[in-house]
Structure 1
Amino acid sequence: MRFSFDKAACQNIRRALRKEWLLTNGLGDYASSSILCCNTRKYHGLLTVNTPLGRHVLLSALEESVRGGGKEFFLSTRQHPNVLYPDGHEYLESFRLDQWPEFTYRVGDVHLRREIFLQRGKSRLVLRYSLKGRSELPPLCLRLKPLLAYRHFHALTRANPQVQTNVETVPQGFRIEPYAGLPPLFFQVHGAFTFTASPDWFHNVEYFQEQERGFPAEEDLFQPGILDIPLPPLPEGGSVYLAVGVEPVEQDLEELWEAESRARISAHKAGGGLIGNLAQMGRQFCIETPSRTPAVLAGYHWFDAWGRDTLIALPGLAFYGGRSEFGLRVLAQVAKSLKNGLVPNFFAEDGRHAYNSADASLWYAWSVQCYLKENPDGLAWVREHAWPALKAIVKGYRSGPGLGIFVDEKGLLHAGDEKTQLTWMDAQADGRPVTPRHGCPVELNALWYNTLAFVDFLAAKFHEPTWDETQALRDLRVSFFEHFWVARGGGYLGDVWRDGFLDQSVRPNQIFAVSLPYPVLEESYQASVVECVRNKLLTPFGLRTLAPDDPGYKGRYEGGPAARDAAYHQGTVWPWLLGHYGDALLRAAWDVDGAAQGLLDTLTPLYCDHLTDAGLASISEIFDASPPYRPNGTIAQAWSVAECLRLLILLKRAAPPVYAAWEERIAYRLAHPVSGDTAGVCRVTMTIGNNTENTTAGTR
């Protein structure tokens, strides 16, 4: 998909500043900003590098201007207290995002285009500036002032005497190493240039989205000097290139640009439509860490590699997304990290992982199941690499790995205590769980049953009769129903059984009792659960985490950290739950085509409007629970993209004609926006099969 914002959309500053682009390189590095190239988060930057010490924003921004005839016109902009400065955004004619972002500025009769990409597999940013204009214009020069942050991406920096201002000359550029322990930066230019050392600090740069989140939002940025690059003479014009990386580039920059652009365009042509777009977006989360181990980043900008997120996202990113080899490497790596049957909740680069999740190990079983579903000939790999881990998980849980995890006398899986949060609803405020779920959570027991049944299946395949789980499975099914079923309102499953009482809150966790490959809930009750979730929790952007009629319901996710944590799982909508809702819906539906049609129609705003909002072409972490369902959290979340991709594939397979007609209607909806908004348009080009649909959507 290609997104093009016209001048009116770019000049709608309030909205343009909330539309963000993201580039990655497979190493955990990224470049990101708003479509105005004005940073609105402390996480934004042109080069954020994944170092052994964590991700660090090295190059925050470039102050850019065009000089000629005694005049200087700025192209860049920053936020300072009560002002955007300089005013480069006023010259922005259009923004386009295809395989990389492209910004076109107009100053009088001069058009300057800036394009940006990160080199795949290298911690290197490459920029191309292209000029067009009339022949009678004076010679023009591009002036660049690098603005360095050089700090951890969660932190902010202030002017300080510790910064090293020395600049070393290198071929076609210069090198600077502002602080010991962090990598140097190499700035290299294709062609003529002049560098003037001019160390200075740019004070009080603000990031309004951090202010809204209740965090410190102001810092100072260091300028080592000024780069002046003559622009090609008019009217022919031409391009100049700049590379910024942690090691020098040996290749000619123009050749490097052409080679990288060909590779990106070729990869883009490999898949079309919404499924192809989401599969391509999924690549952003699949990385090699500094120690060269495969990992899944949970979300951009601020999440790291998490066990639970990895195993929920991996099927969509890898086995449904065309990266099975990467997925198998991750599964093998996760198996090596097991401790007493537990998969880490957090993977640390130094190997000191955090083991504080009760469900991550059980998601490992589901991820292996998805691999086998998509690769039926993969049993040999499973036997060699996953089977020992699966047995260790079952043994570990039965023997009690700590954290209050044990199988009680009724066969239910128990986890945690009143001070811990061990499930995916893990928010805390003032050191206490916001959504207490210690005891026997419904989805934990659904996952436990699914894992036992899968181990039973594999034991039969691998001729290991000592792992016969028949009686345990029967007992667990009976006990599960007795403890979790709520008969009122058509019937549904409560959320947590604890100390003889059932929390009867209507939450989405019950859907896993129907959606998993081996459902713990008897077939005759499954449709009631799906109906309850559809009626009370389903929205156009995902499932609510609590029914709106519950006294604890929070319709908005906003305010400072404590206020947001209080709403995180108290109504807030999560797109990743849609994958399992789709599994459950298709299992329980008597009219598959009708069920698929209804769900696709409901989710049209997610797969249409949202892709032109927040993180362009990607899917946010969460949404407000109440209309208009404002996106929030990270702008690109691994399990959101993965499960929304997997859902589309499931629906396309279950009801091909329904899916094909719906995808065509997506293009029609983009071409006929319903908002009536005339403050600029986003032109979207979407390839459906072998056809290309050019559509236009109003900006939201």
Structure 2
Amino acid sequence: MRFERNSQNWNTIEQGEKDCFLLTNGLGGYSSLSVIGSLARGDQALLMSAQKAPNVRRHLISNLLETFSMDGTNYVLTSQRMMNQPDLEGFRYLDSFSYDKIPTWTYRIGDVVISKRMVMVHGENTVALQYNIHSEQKHQCRLTLTPMLRFSPKKEEFCEKQQITVNIEQDNLYRIKGAEDVLYVAANAQMQEEPSHLFGPMYFSQDERDGREKQGRTVCTHSYISETETGETQNDINVILSTKPYTYHEGLFDELLHSRQAYEEALLKKAHLSSEIGRQLVLSADAYVVDRESTQGKSIIAGYPFFEDWGRDTMIALAGTTLVTGRLEECKSILQTFAKYEHHGLLPNLFPEGDVEPMYNSVDAPLLFINAVYEYIQTSKDNAFLQEVWDVLKRIMTAYETGTDYHIGMDSDCLIQAGADLEQLTWMDVRVGNHLPTPRHGKPVEINAYWYNDLEIMKQFALLQQDNELAQHYAELADKVKEAFLLKFWNEEENCLKDVLSGNSEENQVRCNQVWVLSMPYTMLPKEKELCVLHKIKEELYTTAGLRTLSPRDNAFHDIYIGSMQERDRAYHQGTVWAFPLGAYYRAWTKYLRQDASDKTSVYKAELAEGIEAIRYWLEEGCLGQLAEIYDGAKPTVSRGCFAQAWSVGELLRAVYEWEQL
């Protein structure tokens, strides 16, 4: 997809900061600015490097301060909102912005056109920029690029005591050194040192909206200057920012650009999606598949710009980001990584760096892992992989059956219960001090859907392993789970499923978690009740942006996600729209339509087609080409939270893929 904006989209700097772009490098590093080239968040940067993939990240350079001089008159091209001083309003000269795999800006000053292109190199902490200055008339022009350096860990402020030096390594190659960082700049421009000075404080409008730190500073120590005369020839200025030293030559930018283009073409060729939305989501999904240095394998970043790689998010996003896209080796590597870290039948919800032990506070990740292994084997036909992970799968099942950490275990009715006190073990896991806004202790509906699904899967796996006794055990247990589930989870009053069997009022809340009862490979509800659940979700929870986490009829419903962290946390799962459950909802409809031949099928199919097409709108909003984490519960018009979320992209990509197969 091609995303375009023009000057009508930024009559004010506030308007220009509504949308942004994201480039990534497969290591956890990224580049992200608003469409007018400003920083609207403290976690946005021209180059956020991954020092140790994927989570040890360094904020190297926030942006370039761009000043254009034409016939002695200076024009600042950079846009940036500032604290207690005038904003930089380069957007006044910005004619257009386009994003078609790479971002391109076009500025116009009189009869001079200045274009800028940018690419991030896969597998490296490298960002390359190319400026082109063109006019049919003769003008004496100068472009001055001043690095706005941060040289700090991600999420930390620039240390003002830090000494930064810049040296000439060789012709057109410069080395910038800080206390812990080295950045190389290869450019066909002259370096000019200047007295070190702080730039800022800058104002981060999106952070203030979300209740985060709203200001930040960088340091400037030098500039790169290129002088040219317009007229008969076009003039390119190339700047390569990297943690590795590039030897500059005239075709370097084009080499890096073509390498990126070839990489993305290979992704599309491997994925076999035909629709424009599907092909865009294939490219979007690549942002999340990253190296993990500590395990020498692959992982999935949960979201940009805030999150790291988490177990639950990985298992939910895995099928969409790897299986649907044909990246089977990456999928296998991720499953192998998690299998190595199985502990007491649980899998890591968070991989910390260094010597700190992983955190295992997730009741769903191990169950989703079994389903992921099943889907990988179904897709890849790699039956040998079952033997590799068979003991891990059995340990997970035994732990859930006999009981394990965090009060996770099977009750006498064969349903899974989990959690006590302040433990939050499902994806609705917010804790505000000693208060749980969404307590789900007891028997959550989706966890028991996963449990039944896994019992059916493990029955098949046991037969493949020629363990008939174990297969029989899983079969008998699955029958008991189904019987108890159908007896206890149906809510006659609401004509849908209860959210959690807890013995308190929360169990009857109408929530989106029931959608996974319908979307898993093996399900328990009779067809007529599946349709009831789908209609309930459609009536009270469905939006084209995602599913509401709570019905608006509920007194606990929050209509907006904004304010301080505590205010946002209280709304996080209390009505706020999440994008990723929408994938399961669409897949549940696709699954239903495959089995139904009634007169209503055409109506349902048309409605599903409209929903799939509506994904286009959300790809155009916020972070262009990506899908956000969340949206407001009452009127989901503006993205909130992470502007690019793995399970949002993965689940909706999977839904589009299954729709294309319908």
Q: Do both share a fold (TM > 0.5)?
A: yes
Letter in 2 for 1:371: Y
Q: Could you tell me how far 1:524 is from its partner in structure 2?
A: 4.6
Q: Which residue of 1 aligns with 2:163?
A: 164
TM value normalised by structure 1: 0.88
> In structure 1, how many angstroms separate the alpha carbons of the residues matched to 2:412 and 2:314?
32
Residue 620 in 1 paired to residue 628 in 2?
yes
* 1:35 counterpart SS class: coil
Residue 107 in 1 paired to residue 112 in 2?
no
> In structure 1, how many angstroms separate the alpha carbons of the residues matched to 2:211 and 2:316?
30
Q: Deviations over 1:494-514 (max 9, x none)?
A: 111125887110111112222
CA 1:288–1:92 in structure 2 vs 1: closer, same or farther (change >3 Å)?
A: same
Q: Could you tell me how far 1:10 is from its partner in structure 2?
A: 3.7
Spell out the pairing of 1:571-590 with structure 2 (5 A cutoff).
571-589=575-593, 590=596
Q: Could you tell me how far 1:528 is from its partner in structure 2?
A: 1.8
Q: Which residue of 2 aligns with 1:28?
A: 28
Q: 1:307 aligns with which of 304, 311, 332?
A: 311
Could you list the structure 1 runs, at least 4 aligned residues long, displaced by more than 6 angstroms after superposition.
none
Q: Could you tell me how far 1:256 is from its partner in structure 2?
A: 4.5
Spell out the pairing of 1:441-456 with structure 2 (5 A cutoff).
441-456=444-459
Q: Deviations over 1:600-632 (max 9, x none)?
A: 224543x12222210101111111111253321
Flag structure 1 segments of 5+ consecutive residues without an equivalent. 655-700
> In structure 2, how many angstroms separate the alpha carbons of the residues matched to 1:500 and 1:559?
29
Q: Could you tell me how far 1:195 is from its partner in structure 2?
A: 2.4
Aligned partners of 1:365 and 1:451 also within 8 Å: yes
CA 1:254–1:407 in structure 2 vs 1: closer, same or farther (change >3 Å)?
A: same
Q: Deviations over 1:297-332 (max 9, x none)?
A: 001111100000001001001000221111111111
Q: Deviations over 1:263-308 (max 9, x none)?
A: 4167347466111110111001011134443110001111100000
Q: 1:653 aligns with which of 651, 657, 661?
A: 661
Q: 2:644 aligns with which of 636, 643, 647?
A: 636
Q: 1:439 aligns with which of 437, 442, 448?
A: 442
> In structure 1, how many angstroms separate the alpha carbons of the residues matched to 2:12 and 2:591?
46
> In structure 1, how many angstroms separate the alpha carbons of the residues matched to 2:7 and 2:528?
57
Tell me whether 105-114 or 47-56 shows the greater mean CA deviation: 47-56
> In structure 1, how many angstroms separate the alpha carbons of the residues matched to 2:216 and 2:577?
33
> In structure 1, how many angstroms separate the alpha carbons of the residues matched to 2:399 and 2:636?
45
Aligned partners of 2:61 and 2:148 also within 8 Å: yes
Spell out the pairing of 1:580-619 with structure 2 (5 A cutoff).
580-589=584-593, 590-591=596-597, 592-605=601-614, 607-619=615-627
Q: 1:386 aligns with which of 354, 371, 389?
A: 389
Q: Which residue of 1 aligns with 2:348?
A: 344
Q: Which residue of 1 aligns with 2:329?
A: 325
Letter in 1 for 2:109: V
CA 1:262–1:345 in structure 2 vs 1: closer, same or farther (change >3 Å)?
A: closer
Letter in 2 for 1:202: F
> In structure 1, how many angstroms separate the alpha carbons of the residues matched to 2:329 and 2:127?
27
Tell me whether 218-227 or 513-522 shows the greater mean CA deviation: 513-522
Q: Which residue of 1 aligns with 2:15?
A: 15
Q: Deviations over 1:557-583 (max 9, x none)?
A: 111111111111111111211222123
Query: Number of paired residues?
Result: 644
* 2:122 counterpart SS class: coil
Q: Could you tell me how far 1:86 is from its partner in structure 2?
A: 2.5
> In structure 1, how many angstroms separate the alpha carbons of the residues matched to 2:434 and 2:182?
39
CA 1:166–1:266 in structure 2 vs 1: closer, same or farther (change >3 Å)?
A: closer
> In structure 1, how many angstroms separate the alpha carbons of the residues matched to 2:258 and 2:76?
27
> In structure 1, how many angstroms separate the alpha carbons of the residues matched to 2:252 and 2:83?
42
Q: Deviations over 1:482-532 (max 9, x none)?
A: 22111124x211111125887110111112222211113344532222222
Q: 1:426 aligns with which of 424, 429, 445?
A: 429
Q: Could you tell me how far 1:177 is from its partner in structure 2?
A: 2.0
Spell out the pairing of 1:36-115 with structure 2 (5 A cutoff).
36-52=36-52, 54-81=56-83, 85-115=87-117
Identical residues among aligned pairs (%)? 28
Aligned partners of 1:553 and 1:570 also within 8 Å: yes
> In structure 2, how many angstroms separate the alpha carbons of the residues matched to 1:36 and 1:303?
24
* 1:101 counterpart SS class: strand
Root mean square deviation of aligned Cα: 2.0
Q: Could you tell me how far 1:234 is from its partner in structure 2?
A: 3.0
CA 1:126–1:537 in structure 2 vs 1: closer, same or farther (change >3 Å)?
A: same
Spell out the pairing of 1:474-513 with structure 2 (5 A cutoff).
474-489=479-494, 491-499=495-503, 503-513=507-517
CA 1:113–1:94 in structure 2 vs 1: closer, same or farther (change >3 Å)?
A: same
CA 1:276–1:427 in structure 2 vs 1: closer, same or farther (change >3 Å)?
A: same
> In structure 1, how many angstroms separate the alpha carbons of the residues matched to 2:139 and 2:539?
65
Q: Could you tell me how far 1:81 is from its partner in structure 2?
A: 2.0
* 2:460 counterpart SS class: helix
Q: Which residue of 2 aligns with 1:244?
A: 241
Aligned partners of 1:231 and 1:240 also within 8 Å: no
CA 1:194–1:541 in structure 2 vs 1: closer, same or farther (change >3 Å)?
A: closer
> In structure 2, how many angstroms separate the alpha carbons of the residues matched to 1:385 and 1:111?
59
Aligned partners of 2:33 and 2:45 also within 8 Å: yes
> In structure 2, how many angstroms separate the alpha carbons of the residues matched to 1:594 and 1:457?
36
* 2:104 counterpart SS class: strand
> In structure 2, how many angstroms separate the alpha carbons of the residues matched to 1:301 and 1:84?
27
Spell out the pairing of 1:363-378 with structure 2 (5 A cutoff).
363-375=368-380, 377-378=381-382
Tell me whether 586-595 or 331-340 shows the greater mean CA deviation: 586-595
> In structure 2, how many angstroms separate the alpha carbons of the residues matched to 1:232 and 1:244?
25
> In structure 1, how many angstroms separate the alpha carbons of the residues matched to 2:654 and 2:376?
13
> In structure 1, how many angstroms separate the alpha carbons of the residues matched to 2:3 and 2:486?
49
Aligned partners of 2:139 and 2:229 also within 8 Å: no
Letter in 2 for 1:402: D
> In structure 1, how many angstroms separate the alpha carbons of the residues matched to 2:528 and 2:9?
52
Aligned partners of 2:138 and 2:229 also within 8 Å: no
Spell out the pairing of 1:73-472 with structure 2 (5 A cutoff).
73-81=75-83, 85-138=87-140, 140-157=141-158, 160-161=160-161, 163-171=162-170, 172-180=172-180, 183-190=181-188, 192-231=189-228, 233-250=230-247, 252=249, 254-261=251-258, 263-264=260-261, 267-268=264-265, 270=269, 273-291=276-294, 292-350=296-354, 352-375=357-380, 377-381=381-385, 383-468=386-471, 469-472=474-477
Q: Deviations over 1:220-243 (max 9, x none)?
A: 211121221223653312211111
> In structure 2, how many angstroms separate the alpha carbons of the residues matched to 1:472 and 1:120?
47
> In structure 2, how many angstroms separate the alpha carbons of the residues matched to 1:335 and 1:398?
19
Aligned partners of 1:439 and 1:496 also within 8 Å: yes
* 2:22 counterpart SS class: strand
Aligned partners of 1:411 and 1:476 also within 8 Å: yes
CA 1:71–1:533 in structure 2 vs 1: closer, same or farther (change >3 Å)?
A: same
> In structure 2, how many angstroms separate the alpha carbons of the residues matched to 1:252 and 1:151?
30
Q: Could you tell me how far 1:635 is from its partner in structure 2?
A: 1.1
> In structure 2, how many angstroms separate the alpha carbons of the residues matched to 1:169 and 1:617?
38
Aligned partners of 1:30 and 1:48 also within 8 Å: yes
Q: Deviations over 1:378-435 (max 9, x none)?
A: 2222x23332321121122223221111111111111111311100111121232210
> In structure 2, how many angstroms separate the alpha carbons of the residues matched to 1:455 and 1:95?
52
> In structure 2, how many angstroms separate the alpha carbons of the residues matched to 1:59 and 1:650?
41
Aligned partners of 1:418 and 1:436 also within 8 Å: no
CA 1:500–1:45 in structure 2 vs 1: closer, same or farther (change >3 Å)?
A: closer
Aligned partners of 1:10 and 1:92 also within 8 Å: no
Flag structure 2 segments of 5+ consecutive residues without an equivalent. none
Q: Which residue of 2 aligns with 1:561?
A: 565
Letter in 2 for 1:508: C
Letter in 1 for 2:185: F
Tell me whether 442-451 or 523-532 shows the greater mean CA deviation: 523-532
